[in-house]
Amino acid sequence: NAGVTQTPKFRVLKTGQSMTLLCAQDMNHEYMYWYRQDPGMGLRLIHYSVGEGTTAKGEVPDGYNVSRLKKQNFLLGLESAAPSQTSVYFCASSRGTGGGTNEKLFFGSGTQLSVL
Amino acid sequence: GNSVTQMEGPVTLSEEAFLTINCTYTATGYPSLFWYVQYPGEGLQLLLKATKADDKGSNKGFEATYRKETTSFHLEKGSVQVSDSAVYFCALTIPGASGSARQLTFGSGTQLTVLP
């Protein structure tokens, strides 16, 4: 049972570099999410997707782009990394909306990103 | 907007001690409430949930009661174990909302360490 898989697990970037985080889920879930986790601030939603080919902005979308070309994959891109984007990034998926009373989110194990 | 406030940690207890982690919320609608748990090196997992006032969610010996009058959803366990050491997140969603407002809003998390 792979569930939600994130790659890479760790990455160090220099300011201005670009990178893409990959999230893959094998549960045929419609909804996928990208969160960032910062000390003392909990998890904040960056972008989410309600189905293949769709994306939507969350609470903190600036500086990030996403794509959902295939149902099982949700990519998070940083075009020009900044030190403020140093964080732990979590991908999640759910069968329906994560806000629904009968749904729950399944999380990946996270990506630790440092921007120097 | 919606927000979740958790008691600051870290919380350190001895095995078999009683646990309470406070969680209060503000919401513009009628929220559903959740507790998620994050074990070291892993993503978050749903621990329990409650979808309406006076509901009690329970799982693995943990309980939380949805108190509308005090806008609270405190997590309790009668006898903690070393294996309960983790970070606990309170979260809410507004099922009747639309867009990103319907997605989960997390508290900042509370680190629990249980000593043998």
What does the pLDDT look like over A3-53, one tens digit per residue? Answer: 999 999 999 999 999 999 999 999 999 999 999 999 878 889 999 998 999
pLDDT recorded at residue A46 = 95
Residues in chain A with CB shorter than 8 Å from the CB of B51 are: 101
Residues in chain B with CB shorter than 8 Å from the CB of A105 are: 36, 44, 46, 104
A9 touches chain B (CB under 8 A): no
- Amino acid A82 reads A
Percent share of chain A, pLDDT over 70: 93
pLDDT recorded at residue A19 = 95
What does the H/E/C string look like for B57-84?
Answer: EEECCEEEECECCCCECCEEECCCCHHH
Is B44 in Cβ contact with A48 (below 8 Å)? no
pLDDT in tens, chain B (116 residues): 789 999 888 999 999 999 999 999 998 878 999 999 999 888 899 999 999 999 999 999 999 999 999 999 999 999 999 999 999 999 998 876 666 656 788 999 999 999 99
Per-residue confidence band for A98, with pLDDT thresholds at 50, 70 and 90: low
- Closest Cβ opposite residue B32 in set A43, A48, A101: A101
